[in-house]
A = this chain, B = another copy of it.
Amino acid sequence: MNEDTESVPHPTQRLNDTVHHRTRLGIMAVLREVDRAEFGHLRDTLDLTDGNLSRHIRTLEQAGYVEIHKGYHGRRPRTWLSLTDQGAQALTEEVAALKALVARLDDPPSA
């Protein structure tokens, strides 16, 4: 590992644990593809349980990355979720760090 690569933080050091967790990364990635997603749709797309999805949504909401919208579909109560601007920014930074990591693995710095 030559001098340059040692002074530059390793790409994985730029990863944000709140976003990087496999399930939360999936939630944020799906939410970025749509304006907002219904709770059940997220649960099924990511093959999660209600409890597991709720737990991770709470973490993302507390971090300010996800917004929860309550409403009705006909008479049935429904929950929709959307990324906040802060969440979209955090995901963009996570993806940039993942791209840097993948690029480095594809073309490793001279040891």
CA distance A32 to B104 in the complex (A): 10
Interchain CB contact under 8 A, A9 and B47: yes
Number of interface residues of A (CB under 8 A): 35
- What is the total number of copies of this protein in its complex? 2
Closest to A34 in B: B111
Given A1-B34, A98-B98, A111-B33, verify A10-B46 contact (CB < 8 Å).
yes
Given A33-B105, A99-B102, output 19 extra A-B contacts at Cβ < 8 Å.
A1-B33, A1-B34, A1-B41, A1-B45, A6-B44, A10-B47, A11-B26, A12-B23, A12-B25, A12-B26, A15-B22, A15-B25, A20-B22, A32-B105, A33-B108, A33-B111, A91-B105, A98-B98, A98-B102
